[in-house]
Amino acid sequence: MKKISLCLLPALLSLSAYNGTPIIKNSFPKIKTMIATQTTPATAELTAKERADAIKLLTQTEAGVFDAVKDLNETQLNFKPAADKWSTGDCVKHIAAAEKTLWDMAEASLKQPANPEKRAEIKFSDEQLITAVEDRSHKSKTFAALEPANSPYKTEPEALAAFKENRAKLITFVGSTKLDLRNHVLVLPLGTYDAYQFILLIAAHTNRHTRQIDEVKADAGFPKN
């Protein structure tokens, strides 16, 4: 199985570091996420609340990306606070590439037999997972395939179009799937979580980098026009 993006690693590991109670950093509270704790086996299908919560989070975080880059011109999209920092355009390309890569991972797990016996290894709730992924106080370099320079999308409009298309597919999936997402458990070196949680992770990852866009826009050197 492919490794999850390293930009998520310190955030997820912080769940263990704080014994299930991560320190919440919320300097950019653009999108408030309220997902109920869910760490016990569910019925074969998602509950109405689980579907609604996930769709709300996916929809909010999608809108957050478009709102964050709305009306930015090319100079603003290309501005970097420092040579080793990402521009807002870089963030958009990363978000779009990660959307497909992360969903491919979840989809692959759903093609395998359910493994509910692994649920005992899940050490965090849905809300803790979202909080940890969105926490920008924990940072690390993403792996090469998801670096903006290696993105399959060469322009911001192309990346946004792909992101919108893939997010729409994911929302449709969540709204209609009859698969047992809670009992398909992904076991990765950085943690164990069920397929439903992984979908929440995708949305939270989007918000993580929307907050990064906000950080770039808040930089003193960011072009005014």
**In the chain, where are the structural domains located?**
6-18+70-218
Identify whether the C-beta of residue 197 lies closer than 8 Å to the C-beta of residue 119. no
Distance between CA atoms of 115 and 112, rounded to whole angstroms? 9
Identify whether the C-beta of residue 92 lies closer than 8 Å to the C-beta of residue 80. no
Which pLDDT does position 7 carry in this prediction? 57
pLDDT, tens only, 130-140: 999 999 998 77
- Mean pLDDT (the chain) is 84
Which pLDDT does position 189 carry in this prediction? 80
**Overall average pLDDT of the 51-78 stretch:** 98
**Overall average pLDDT of the 103-123 stretch:** 94
Of the listed ranges 5-14, 61-70, 120-129, 152-161, the least confidently predicted one is: 5-14
**Overall average pLDDT of the 104-129 stretch:** 94
Q: Which residue has the higher pLDDT, 7 or 3?
A: 7
Instruction: Count the alpha carbons within 13 Å of 48 in the hemisphere toward its beta carbon.
Output: 0
**pLDDT of 146 strictly over 50:** yes
Place of tokens 């290309």: 78
pLDDT, tens only, 176-223: 999 999 999 999 887 899 999 999 999 999 999 999 999 999 999 999
Is the alpha carbon torsion for 9, 10, 11, 12 positive or negative?
Answer: positive
Percent of the chain with pLDDT over 70: 81
Of the listed ranges 1-15, 52-66, 189-203, 211-225, the least confidently predicted one is: 1-15
Which CATH code is given to the segment(s) 6-18+70-218? 1.20.120.450
**pTM for this structure?**
0.83
Reported residue count of the chain is 225
| Closest-CA residue to 124 (of 194, 206, 57) | 194
Which pLDDT does position 2 carry in this prediction? 36
**pLDDT of 148 strictly over 70:** yes
187 - beta bridge partners?
A: 192
Which pLDDT does position 167 carry in this prediction? 99
Q: CA–CA distance from 170 to each of 16, 36, 37, 142 (Å)?
A: 29, 20, 22, 23
Query: What does the DSSP 8-state code read for residue 104?
Result: H
